[in-house]
Amino acid sequence: MAHPNEFTKKLVMTEEIAHQQLIDYIKDKISITPEHEALIKSRFHLQKLKRKEFFLREGDECYSQGFIVEGTFRVFFIDQKASEHVLYFGFKDWWVGDIASFHSQEKTNMNIQAMEDSSILSFTKDDLEWLFIQVPPLERLFRIMAQRTLAVLQKRFLLTISASAEQRFLELIQRHPGIEQLVPQHQIASYLGILPESLSRMKKLLYKK
Amino acid sequence: MAHPNEFTKKLVMTEEIAHQQLIDYIKDKISITPEHEALIKSRFHLQKLKRKEFFLREGDECYSQGFIVEGTFRVFFIDQKASEHVLYFGFKDWWVGDIASFHSQEKTNMNIQAMEDSSILSFTKDDLEWLFIQVPPLERLFRIMAQRTLAVLQKRFLLTISASAEQRFLELIQRHPGIEQLVPQHQIASYLGILPESLSRMKKLLYKK
DNA sequence: CGAAAATTTGACATGACTCAACTGGAGTGG
DNA sequence: CCACTCCAGTTGAGTCATGTCAAATTTTCG
């Protein structure tokens, strides 16, 4: 085998490392015992996804959520006119999943796709309900998480209805510098809620100023 | 005093009745002891608001959330161009508040106004944090609540970005029959994210079909 | 009743969409 | 290494939904 190209990103992630990262994340927010740690680890399973592979696909019945250990994901849904809408991009230490179908246990209409080679710790609704019983403090963690996510989504919603596409674009690249290198432009357009053509034109005008 | 007009809505609500309604709501979702009940009641205070009065105003520092006992509220924010955007309407047994400023403890940029004479049980962040310690099962209730709210907001967001104003209008009046009698049309337009003039024209076209 | 607010209507402007053609770079296979 | 293909991105022309501004009309409420 040739020696590895120094620019090739290698995934050396192991479940052990991933679990430790998750535990560190959790301990930053709530107090848990070593016994709790072991229980949590037992229900989070490492899943490696190559670029463009899906963590969740529209119509999946076996719904699961995930904690991103490394990499980037895009969460999108497809409307009746078959056009894609990016709900958000997920990065390291973010949770991804379709919260709506989580409750209803109906088929999801979300898609979650890796933008680059990524690692994610996944768990099912049953895992989580079991963990809530075994590790009561997790209720608190997930309450805080849900409330923060809610605040973020609310901000995104308010921005979408009150600001122009140009303002939304500027806000995005300010909040996520470098996202344009990571995510193709037509997906950024999709996140902004406009067509790729519109974004292309908008950028031309923007850089003329 | 003249005998009361039979069409005048009278508020006979008492804190006792309101507390019972809250406890019934909570018991439907989690198990709590009689001691818990007393603790909860001690932190929720009844507030009566007449039509057009505000439960929360932009810039308020003393942030509080509320559980609607009776009546209707509208939750809206005002953008840089001084136009109002209705985030949602709140009805009996709903929770209202600005989840974003709840965490940050910064001044809110939300407004919550009674659409008719209403009663609401209000509580502060300190009340809630204290209650989470005294009544641990409440963490679960608020986790479930936040996740449901999140699912609803996500649905609203997806609808807003993927459906036409007309489709959104039809969805609204289907989900809330009678809302047109309760809420003035320009506020419905604001909820839909369009101007009152546009809604007026849209309805004319709609009923021509 | 009369003022203020809400709604409707009209004329016009505009941002984003649609559809279609073109450009250019990345990857593939001969 | 060069054609070939494919896909992302750009550009152009025309359309449409919704916004803007202004005025007329209706409704609400003190």
Q: Average pLDDT for residues B8-35, to the nearest whole number? A: 89
Q: Which residues of A fall within a CB distance of 8 Å from B194?
A: none
In this predicted structure, what is the pLDDT of residue B41?
A: 98
- Per the listing, tokens 């047109």 go with B180
Q: How many CB atoms lie within 10 A of CB A5?
A: 8
Q: B174 near B166, Cβ under 8 Å?
A: no
In one-letter notation, the amino acid at residue A25 is Y
Tokens representing B108?
């809110």
Helix axes A165-175, A185-192, angle to 10 degrees: 120
What's the pLDDT tens digit per position in B146-191?
A: 999 999 999 999 999 889 999 999 999 999 998 999 999 999 999 9
Domain range summary for chain B, segments of one domain joined by +: 15-137
Tokens representing B5?
């007009």
Q: How far is B24 from chain A (nearest CA, A)?
A: 22
Residue A43: name the closest of A18, A61, A24 by CA.
A18
What would the 3-class secondary structure string for B64-106 be? EEEEEEECCEEEEEECCCCCEEEEEEECCCCEECCHHHHHHCC
- The answer to whether some atom of strand C lies closer than 7 Å to the beta carbon of B176 is no
Environment class of B207 (CB within 10 Å of its CB; exposed 0-12, middle 13-18, buried 19+): exposed
User: Which nucleotides of chain C does any protein CB come within 7 A of?
Assistant: 6-11, 15-20
Secondary element (H or E) of residue B125: helix B125-134
- Kindly list the averaged pLDDT for each block of 10 residues, start to end, along chain A of length 209: 42 90 97 97 95 88 88 91 90 92 84 92 94 96 94 92 92 92 93 94 83
Query: Distance between CA A67 and CA A131 in Å, rounded?
Result: 15
Sheet containing strand B84-90, strands side by side: B54-56, B110-114, B73-78, B84-90
* % of chain B surpassing 70 pLDDT: 93
In one-letter notation, the amino acid at residue A145 is M
Question: Hey, are the CB atoms on A153 and B158 less than 8 Å from each other?
Answer: no
Query: Distance between CA A20 and CA A36 in Å, rounded?
Result: 13
Homologous superfamily, domain A15-136: Jelly Rolls (2.60.120.10)
Query: Distance between CA A121 and CA A119 in Å, rounded?
Result: 7
B interface test, pick of A80, A132, A139, A155 with most B CB neighbours within 10 Å:
A139
In this predicted structure, what is the pLDDT of residue B70?
A: 95
For the cut 80, the answer to whether the pLDDT of residue B5 exceeds it is no
Q: B43 near B123, Cβ under 8 Å?
A: yes
From residue A82, give the alpha-carbon distance in Å to each of A18, A78, A79, B100, B162: 36, 6, 5, 33, 10
Q: Kindly state whether B167 is in contact with chain A, defined as any CB-CB distance less than 8 angstroms.
A: no
pLDDT band for position B10 (cuts 50, 70, 90): low
- The answer to whether some atom of strand C lies closer than 7 Å to the beta carbon of B160 is no
Q: Is A80 left (phi over 0), alpha (psi -120 to 50) or beta?
A: alpha
Query: Distance between CA B205 and CA B169 in Å, rounded?
Result: 13
Q: B89 near B176, Cβ under 8 Å?
A: yes
In this predicted structure, what is the pLDDT of residue B209?
A: 61
What's the pLDDT tens digit per position in B103-146?
A: 778 888 899 999 999 999 999 999 999 999 999 999 999 999 99
Query: Distance between CA A154 and CA B75 in Å, rounded?
Result: 12
The CATH architecture assigned to B15-137 reads Sandwich (2.60)
Cross-strand partners of B96: B66
Q: How far is A11 from chain B (nearest CA, A)?
A: 33
In this predicted structure, what is the pLDDT of residue A111?
A: 93
